Chains A and B, each alone.
Chain A
Amino acid sequence: VKGRGLLLTALVLVAGVFAVAAWRIAARTRLEHAPGSRVVRFAHTQLEAGIREAFAAAAREYMALHPGVVVEQIAIPRRVWDSWMRTQLIGGTAPDLLQLVNNDPNPLPRFFVPADEWMEAPNPYNAGTPLEGIPWQNTFIAPLLEPPSYWPVYLHYYGVPTTLFTMRLYYNRALLREITGSDEVPATFEEFLALCERVRSWSAGRPRPVYAIAAAKPVPPNDVLIHRLLRSMTQTLVEPVDATLSLSGGGGAGGDLRTFAREAAFRGVWDLRTPQIQAGLRLVREVGQHFQPAFLQADRDQALFYFLQGRALMIMSGSWEFGSIVAQAPFPVDVFRLPEPDRRHPDYGRFSLGETSEANIGMRGAFALTRTSRHPEVAMDFLRFLTSQAAHGRFAARSGWLPVVRGVPPPEVVRGFAPVTGGYPEGFSWTVGVETVRINENTLHLLFGSGDGVERFTAEIEPQFRGALVRDELKEVRESVNALTAFDARLLADEALRRTGGTGLFSETRRSELLESQTSGELGFLLSRTLLRQESSP
């Protein structure tokens, strides 16, 4: 009898769960298929606290303005995003708007609609503001010149950005006060190192040690801290490596410092023994002494756990995580910018120009319209609403994300993330491609190990360096051939379409830009080929 009772209870439970699930699905279907309603879905991978709520609030506001429109968000974990997105795109079931997460150019022309037409027109939701009548593309805090917004390789706008991501040191304010007796954060590199030392001495002898910095194994994307340090020491190498005399190129179409650095390494302008590179390694090792033990085996979640448990005073992370970290931390959290050694530093100063500028940081959180969208006008209209001055201000306040629309001030809580636009161009890291990154990852334990870590690390990498450099250059060459061929295809297609009286692919200006980009790509490609040929000749 007891067994039958249990079985009955189990059956009732299962039936109940089924009924609830069925009702939810039915309710959702009813919502989607309500007569006359137009459903627009947007998908993103920002699962941090507060972001979904902020998007949902924006959707509610938009729906209130547009009866008959339903805006739904789909939040997908980052780990499965790539495969999920690919499946949706290929299966023709993609939502109307997708976040452009990793700046992969390949799916764009096939699966997404260029946003040029909308971008050239004013954003109607800016009526009555200083941005009224201004083309949408010019209402952002900086010109949209690079991916994920504008794609020079395709000469089209695709992504509509919603934020900027900057990196900062998060710190436990209560713990800082407990250790130092003050709320003051370090303003210089010397003060930063002094704080790290202070944490070490304060922690000594305590039953549960506290470390200055919680760190994960410094591999992409958890390697921002060490690359900041490495790059701070190569600022004085920027001019010698930049053969174009453009003071580092400024990034994107203006010129890419990593490409300049790779070329200069082939030409022997620098190598691992160059004083600036050695200084960078010493700097990383010095700061690394204040990471928690066994950080080289820690992943990102473990490092964050250290911080949230109060076992580390600081952790490096991005502005996108602010809401999540604040929500999880049982203590007050604030941020400051990692101070880098400046010209006055007795050891590192001779390699530094000064504080690094963040003026060229690209915009993020960009959404693009999929070709399978059933309501493209509504989908793009929602993005116009989201990036209008008033709605974007509310979105930034709710999400804790840095705003990207002109005239929208950053919310007080995230002021510390606002990009520093003064300062000097950043230098480069010696890892100039995936192969050099790989040998760095495999050898990092030596840098932080006992003895002369910098020398052991250098000696281990040195014999592998040029081989890795060659493989990185070869990868560039392979990718460039496809890009150059695609340029030719667009050039000939545009000409063929115009020749027979039809509408070409591009305006005159865009066609001119196509040729300009092709020239730039071709110069880079043939340079790579020449360097490889010279490298292989005896």
Chain B
Amino acid sequence: MKAPRPRPGRPRGGVRWIAATLLAAAVALAAPPADERATAWHDLAASQAAAALVRFRTLESAEPARADEARIGQATALLLVQPRTASNLNAARALARRVAEEGEIAWIPAGRYLLARIAEFHTSPADYPEARRQYRILSDIHGATELGQIALTKLAILDMREPAPADERERRYTGLVALEVRLTDPAARRDFHLALADGCLREGLGEERALRHSLLAEAAGIVHPGRRASVILRIAELSRRLGRPEEARRHYRRFLDLVGDRDNRALLVRERLNTLGVEATP
């Protein structure tokens, strides 16, 4: 007995089953495994930009719900890939802009952040006004997010470092000080004050101000012991120069307690302490 010929356009049950299986397999193959996302980010963190880029591109098409995350990953990878090219830079900017302007709310800060970084560090010549604009939007609209807090620090660094006439520098400084109340994250607060302290010292904005910002930065918590030691020493030096020997002594001692003999400045600091002791004796 001959098997009935299947009618065109209506596959037999077995064929349908095979087709469904193949389709399911294809979808399974196309959809990245659960840890593919994590692998892509880990690649990026390990500076394996080319590998990360491929993974993020796959993720963008395979998981539309997470396309914005994949776009941020791609944009970051494009900035890292060597050699750096104009087309990679333009592609990174376009991806970041798409997320910043049309993306889901969770990824908009990352898009803004990347746009600022591209303008500040990757564009030649640097587009500081655009970087400043993006940081402002980020801190004004997304100020409660971590990147929104970081944006305040980046604004401080940029305003302190970009050359400007003395009156403009003073105006910028005053504007930055007004932002202090918005710093809720300790790390951002620390870095904000580190930037301001550095700016005050280098740009002649005053040692009193430099001391205040150094104290605030240190109070917010400096993590690296070497950096902490240098900031404590700066506080001591500024206190001494500003005629506050008691404060100076206290911070010189804190420095010595922190570094012991394992710092080439220890002897110099002990001499400073001795001199202060003599000066303090009537």
Q: Taking beta carbons and an 8 Å cutoff, which residues of A are in contact with B?
A: 109-110, 141-143, 145-146, 152, 243-255, 353, 356-360, 421-426, 481-482, 484-486, 488-490, 492-497, 499-500, 502, 505, 509, 511-513, 515-517, 519-520, 522-523, 525-527, 529-530, 533-534
Q: A247-B233, A533-B163 are in contact. Are A357 and B46 (CB under 8 A)?
A: no
* Cα(A400)–Cα(B230), bound, Å: 34
Q: A250-B264, A360-B263, A515-B188 are in contact. Are A110 and B46 (CB under 8 A)?
A: yes
Q: Chain B 183-194, CB within 8 Å of chain A: the 1/0 string?
A: 000111011001
Let me know if B121 is at the binding interface, CB within 8 A.
yes
B262–A142 touching, CB < 8 Å: yes
Q: Residue A245 contacts which of B106, B110, B238 (CB distance < 8 angstroms)?
A: B238
* Cα(A484)–Cα(B27), bound, Å: 38
Q: Chain B 254-269, CB within 8 Å of chain A: the 1/0 string?
A: 0000010111111111
Q: Residue B161 contacts which of A425, A495, A530 (CB distance < 8 angstroms)?
A: A530
Q: Residue B261 contacts which of A359, A486, A511, A517 (CB distance < 8 angstroms)?
A: A359
Q: How far is the CB of B85 from chain A (nearest CB, A)?
A: 14
Which residue on chain A has the smallest CB distance to residue B191? A519
- 11 inter-chain pairs at a CB distance below 8 angstroms, sorted by A residue, are A247-B268, A254-B230, A422-B261, A481-B121, A496-B72, A499-B106, A505-B41, A505-B45, A516-B191, A517-B224, A530-B163
* Cα(A517)–Cα(B76), bound, Å: 19
Q: How far is the CB of A109 from chain B (nearest CB, A)?
A: 4
**Which segment, of B9-17, B136-144, B150-158, faces chain A?**
B150-158
A145–B45 touching, CB < 8 Å: no
B234–A509 touching, CB < 8 Å: no
Q: A245-B237, A254-B229, A485-B117 are in contact. List 8 more A-B contacts (CB 8 A).
A: A245-B238, A253-B224, A488-B113, A492-B113, A493-B42, A516-B191, A516-B223, A519-B194
Q: A145-B225, A254-B226, A516-B223 are in contact. Are A526 and B158 (CB under 8 A)?
A: yes
A516–B224 touching, CB < 8 Å: yes
Q: How far is the CB of B173 from chain A (nearest CB, A)?
A: 15
* Cα(A248)–Cα(B38), bound, Å: 42
B187–A515 touching, CB < 8 Å: yes
Give the number of residues in B that approach A within 8 Å (Cβ atoms). Answer: 71
* Cα(A177)–Cα(B230), bound, Å: 46
Q: A110-B47, A146-B226, A495-B146 are in contact. Are A245 and B234 (CB under 8 A)?
A: yes
Let me know if B33 is at the binding interface, CB within 8 A.
no
Residues from chain A with a CB closer than 8 A to the CB of B195 are 519, 523
- Of residues 234 through 282 on chain B, the ones whose CB sits less than 8 Å from some CB of chain A are 234, 237-238, 259, 261-269
A423–B264 touching, CB < 8 Å: yes
* Cα(A356)–Cα(B268), bound, Å: 11
B41–A493 touching, CB < 8 Å: yes
* Cα(A502)–Cα(B35), bound, Å: 10
Let me know if B167 is at the binding interface, CB within 8 A.
no
B234–A527 touching, CB < 8 Å: no
A512–B223 touching, CB < 8 Å: yes
Q: Chain B 37-75, CB within 8 Å of chain A: the 1/0 string?
A: 110011011111100000000000000000001001100
- Of residues 65 through 96 on chain B, the ones whose CB sits less than 8 Å from some CB of chain A are 69, 72-73, 76-77, 79-80
Q: How far is the CB of A240 from chain B (nearest CB, A)?
A: 13
Which residue on chain B has the smallest CB distance to residue A488? B117
Let me know if B122 is at the binding interface, CB within 8 A.
yes
Residues from chain A with a CB closer than 8 A to the CB of B163 are 530, 533-534
Q: How far is the CB of B175 from chain A (nearest CB, A)?
A: 18
Residues from chain A with a CB closer than 8 A to the CB of B237 are 245-247
Which residue on chain B has the smallest CB distance to residue A371? B46
B80–A485 touching, CB < 8 Å: yes
Let me know if B24 is at the binding interface, CB within 8 A.
no
Cβ-closest 5 pairs across A and B: A254-B226, A357-B264, A526-B161, A246-B230, A513-B223
Let me know if B198 is at the binding interface, CB within 8 A.
yes
Q: How far is the CB of A527 from chain B (nearest CB, A)?
A: 6
Q: A244-B230, A492-B72, A495-B110 are in contact. Are A516 and B47 (CB under 8 A)?
A: no
Q: Residue A519 contacts which of B146, B153, B201 (CB distance < 8 angstroms)?
A: B153
A425–B264 touching, CB < 8 Å: yes
Which residue on chain A has the smallest CB distance to residue B224? A253
A250–B45 touching, CB < 8 Å: no
Let me know if B227 is at the binding interface, CB within 8 A.
yes
Q: How far is the CB of A25 from chain B (nearest CB, A)?
A: 36
B268–A486 touching, CB < 8 Å: no
Residues from chain B with a CB closer than 8 A to the CB of A251 are 226, 264
Residues from chain B with a CB closer than 8 A to the CB of A515 are 150, 153, 187-188, 191
Which residue on chain B has the smallest CB distance to residue A247? B265
A353–B225 touching, CB < 8 Å: no
* Cα(A78)–Cα(B239), bound, Å: 49
B229–A250 touching, CB < 8 Å: yes
* Cα(A255)–Cα(B201), bound, Å: 15
Residues from chain A with a CB closer than 8 A to the CB of B69 are 496
B121–A359 touching, CB < 8 Å: no
Residues from chain B with a CB closer than 8 A to the CB of A523 are 157, 160-161, 194-195, 198
Let me know if B126 is at the binding interface, CB within 8 A.
yes
B227–A109 touching, CB < 8 Å: no
* Cα(A130)–Cα(B22), bound, Å: 65
* Cα(A422)–Cα(B261), bound, Å: 8
A484–B201 touching, CB < 8 Å: no
A490–B45 touching, CB < 8 Å: yes
Let me know if B32 is at the binding interface, CB within 8 A.
no
Residues from chain B with a CB closer than 8 A to the CB of A357 are 264, 266-267
A248–B227 touching, CB < 8 Å: no
A246–B110 touching, CB < 8 Å: no
Let me know if B202 is at the binding interface, CB within 8 A.
yes
Interface centre among B48, B113, B226 (most CB of A within 10 A): B226
Let me know if B221 is at the binding interface, CB within 8 A.
yes
